[in-house]
Structure 1
Amino acid sequence: MRRKWYWMAGFTLYFLLQNPICLMAEDPSLQDLVDQTPKNGILHLQNKTYNGNVVITKPITVKGRSRTSIKGDGTGNVILLKKTADGTRLESLRISHSSQNRNSEEEYSAIKVLSDRNVLKNLKISDSFHGIYLSSSDDNELSQVQITGIGGGEIAGQGNGVQLIRSHRNQLKDTVIRDSRDGIYFSYSNDNVVKDVDISHTRYGLHYMYSDNNHFFHNRFHQNIGGAAIMNSKRIELIGNEFSYQQGSRSFGLMLQASDENNVKDNHFYHNQRGLYIDLSQKNRIISNDFHQNRVGVELWASSSNQVFSLNRFFRNILPVITIGGRAKNKWSEGHKGNEWGDTFALVDLNEDKIGDIPVQYQSSLAKLMEDQELVYLFLPSPSIKIFEKINQFLHRQETVFKDPYPLLSEQQGGFQAGWFLLILFFIMLGMIYVQRRRKVR
């Protein structure tokens, strides 16, 4: 009997040594760890890859380390915060591999948020349809997030970096987004703040529909098809942003379309096909912006009126301003302060107050041509366009694009000031005296 027991024990030991996995209990899944974490508790994850997908139904903190990764199974959202998870915090995680399925009614994401007052911080997101999707989700804080889309290929096959649908009072800051369909997409989302975000290599860095009273500070939109497209919205603040290197036949730095009462201030527009494009929009304030080396600084359609342009600086744009579809009523100064036009105009400043003494007006014959044929934009740097303008100037076939009653002199621009005027006047008087004396001598 004892021999039989020894034999069975030996056989069992031999089997376990050949199959060491049986010596250990199976590790709990990430979903198990989330479910076991108490409400308002903290789940500390290790430096390893965890398998998603995971659903969070209560407020908890999930905190990773430098190499903590959560990889979805490619069939849904990698992390889903349900409506009951208000106040959840996700921090220091790498998240990837959501579903790319476009046939589903749901648009999948690396993180989909349905709850409020959450904090998403120090996240790296990749290989997902949408990066972060806020759906009817308010008062969230997103910061130090890096989102890398699929890039290349069919635009429709890619999701957005951050998508907000009917989501209000959220803050997004210190974030980098690239290679997605649109960098940030807004729809029916109000009172949000976006600050210090860098977006590149997308269709539209910012795609914006039916959303009011949002604020964009010190963001960088560069190397996209379009920098920021603001549509059907009101009272947006765009302050201190950079719109650069949007190049293509219909590219723009910033587009305001059917959008009113927006404040565009202290922004930098350079090396764009169009710096600022305005259509079907009213009562926007364009104040203290730099338009530098764009093909067209500002393109205004006749459907837009009552904009105010003041204290803007236009420098080395091929066309500083063009109006398409006829003239519209817009103001080119405010409080007796117009705009700086670089070397476009020679200004007279007799009282040396840095304001031109005579209004300036810009004329061009290109508006009708550009309206009829988009390819004209591609040939703007060509000498043939300059010849076309000179011929039409000689034939008096140019139209007035704008009139600035109080043009400003730049710091580098001396203008035609009083000292030179008096000196020239002195020499003119000497010449007249000389001519009169010659006549008397005869």
Structure 2
Amino acid sequence: MKKILWLLLLFSAFIFTEKGTAAENLQAVINSAKDGSVIKLEDKIYAGNIVIDKPLTLMGTNETLIEGDGKGNVISVRAPGVTISDLKVSKGGMDRNSAEEYAAIKIYTDGNVLRNIGIDESFHGIYLSKAHNNTIENVRVKGLGKEEIAAQGNGLHVYYSNGNLLINNYVVGTRDGMFFDYANDNKVIGNEITKTRYGLHFMYSDRNEFKNNIFTFNTGGAAIMHSNQLKLKNNQFIFNYGHRSFGLMLLSANQNDIENNTFYMNQRGLYIDQSTDNLIKSNQIFQNQIGIELWASSNEQVFTENKIEENTIPAVTLGGSGRNDWSQEGTGNNWGTSFPLLDLDQNGVGDSPAIYKSSLYELIEDQELVYLFLKSPAIKVYEKMNQLMDNEKTMFEDQHPLTDSEKPNFYLSGLVIFAVIISAIIVKRRKLLCISFGRNGRKI
């Protein structure tokens, strides 16, 4: 009997302390491990708030979960050369008023690798704090959703951190998908961000490369503020919609290259304010309410080789007229069917400028709610009335608009057919006149 009672007590103690023992063992193993060790975790839950202070590899499985107590960082990396892979992390501190911004994984050092990690229920997903040359790959961060955006942090937060690679990550439902603050020379490639405030948010961050990323269903696709010499190429900004929404915003952003991106079904494709010397080239800007919104505080933008078509308003300039170029070295933009153009010499450039005039700039400047009604029939009536009263302003003038050279030029074809018919009529009438009056006009 005593043996049975002793076994029951031992079994009860084991069940009660299993989670705590796992946590103690994990931190103890980390503490006792040698530099460069590989720690393989099991298919179980480990208690978090662990600190990694030496170079090692922490490797889990699809069923490994490191769970915090909701009061701090679940994992703190305080040594360089750490690799964390193939596990889930949950329940980081959510206190917005703490001295430190908590995260599921917070990195304070250089040269670390985070790969194949799932994160939820944390203020920030991954936070790089003065950490350089790290790789963040295939990390999935799930936030609390749009109803709780103000109560949480960002999916991937990069603070005073340079030379990092963020590749093939997925972020949904956080405040900002990726936030860069005083972070330079980073590469952001192949990430997908959805249902956030800003998919990407740059502040005082220069020379970053941003390629092959996808932004959908955010309030704003990407907000580039006080940041210079960025390269944004081959990204997709699709259906970023709401009050004052945009695909891409440039605010006090200079000398940036924006090439081969797609802006589709946004409230505003591009929004440019207080920015100078940006190159906007070879982008697809279509079916947005406003293709390009350009404030007069922005100068020396160059728009060239863009396809800008089927937008409710192709482009609007607000606050006056800035000094911007709508073509470069004789190459303008393709405006689709918005401006039917002749190209008699078939060189791919229209024979006349593409000029767009509108009166809507006054409404937009005075009343922000106009954005919500740009597709209303009343707006079209308003534009028509101002057109009749000659109360419009030139929004842009593209001196060298492009035509679809690969498509048949129906206007030219029609003109040629018309000319042939007229020539045939003239020749026939001339022949009849010659028969009736002779070549000198006398009747014979």
TM-score by length of structure 2 reads 0.92
SS in 1 for 2:190: strand
Answer whether contact 1:131 1:160 (CA < 8 A) is retained: yes
Q: 1:388: how far off?
A: 1.3
Alpha carbons of 1:56 and 1:182: their partners in 2 closer, same or farther (altered >3 Å)?
same
Counterpart AA for 2:67: K
**Is 1:123 aligned to 2:117, yes or no?**
yes
CA distance in 2 between counterparts of 1:418 and 1:341 reads 18
Match among 180, 185, 191 for residue 191 of structure 1 = 185
**Is 1:37 aligned to 2:29, yes or no?**
no
**Is 1:18 aligned to 2:14, yes or no?**
no
Answer whether contact 1:195 1:216 (CA < 8 A) is retained: yes
**Is 1:374 aligned to 2:364, yes or no?**
no
Alpha carbons of 1:290 and 1:331: their partners in 2 closer, same or farther (altered >3 Å)?
same
Partner of 2:198: 204
Answer whether contact 1:347 1:415 (CA < 8 A) is retained: no
Partner of 1:281: 275
CA distance in 2 between counterparts of 1:414 and 1:262 reads 36
Instruction: Give the count of matched residue pairs.
Output: 430
Answer whether contact 1:350 1:417 (CA < 8 A) is retained: no
Answer whether contact 2:146 2:196 (CA < 8 A) is retained: no
Match among 133, 148, 152 for residue 146 of structure 2 = 152
Matches within 5 A, 1:14-413: 14-21=4-11, 28-82=24-78, 85-410=79-404, 413=407
Alpha carbons of 1:368 and 1:23: their partners in 2 closer, same or farther (altered >3 Å)?
closer
SS in 1 for 2:337: coil
Moved more, 402-411 or 242-251: 402-411
Deviations 1:125-153 (A, max 9, x none): 00000000000000000101100011133
Alpha carbons of 1:35 and 1:361: their partners in 2 closer, same or farther (altered >3 Å)?
same
Answer whether contact 1:134 1:167 (CA < 8 A) is retained: yes
CA distance in 2 between counterparts of 1:22 and 1:358 reads 88
Counterpart AA for 2:59: K
Counterpart AA for 1:72: G
Counterpart AA for 1:144: N
Answer whether contact 1:350 1:416 (CA < 8 A) is retained: no
Q: 1:334: how far off?
A: 1.2
SS in 2 for 1:336: coil
Q: Which runs of 4+ in 1 moved over 6 A?
A: 22-25, 435-438
Deviations 1:154-188 (A, max 9, x none): 43311100101100000001110000000001100
Q: 1:23: how far off?
A: 8.5
Counterpart AA for 1:326: G
Counterpart AA for 1:269: F
CA distance in 2 between counterparts of 1:80 and 1:363 reads 57
Gaps of 5+ in 2: none
Q: 1:66: how far off?
A: 1.6
CA distance in 2 between counterparts of 1:290 and 1:148 reads 30
Alpha carbons of 1:378 and 1:431: their partners in 2 closer, same or farther (altered >3 Å)?
farther
CA distance in 1 between counterparts of 2:339 and 2:408 reads 12
Q: 1:420: how far off?
A: 3.9
Answer whether contact 1:196 1:217 (CA < 8 A) is retained: yes
Counterpart AA for 2:300: N
SS in 2 for 1:299: strand
Answer whether contact 1:347 1:416 (CA < 8 A) is retained: no
Answer whether contact 2:305 2:334 (CA < 8 A) is retained: yes
Q: 1:428: how far off?
A: 4.1
SS in 2 for 1:19: helix
CA distance in 2 between counterparts of 1:401 and 1:357 reads 20
Q: RMSD in angstroms over aligned alpha carbons?
A: 2.2
**Is 1:423 aligned to 2:413, yes or no?**
no
Answer whether contact 1:352 1:417 (CA < 8 A) is retained: no
Answer whether contact 1:16 1:22 (CA < 8 A) is retained: no
The percentage of counterpart residues that share the same residue type is: 43
Deviations 1:272-306 (A, max 9, x none): 00000000000000000001100000000000010
Alpha carbons of 1:62 and 1:353: their partners in 2 closer, same or farther (altered >3 Å)?
same
Deviations 1:193-249 (A, max 9, x none): 001100001000011100000011000011000000000010011000000111112
Counterpart AA for 1:163: H
CA distance in 2 between counterparts of 1:411 and 1:432 reads 32
SS in 2 for 1:29: helix
Moved more, 337-346 or 151-160: 151-160
Gaps of 5+ in 1: 1-9
Moved more, 152-161 or 141-150: 152-161
CA distance in 1 between counterparts of 2:394 and 2:178 reads 38
CA distance in 1 between counterparts of 2:295 and 2:248 reads 14
Counterpart AA for 2:60: G
Answer whether contact 1:141 1:172 (CA < 8 A) is retained: yes
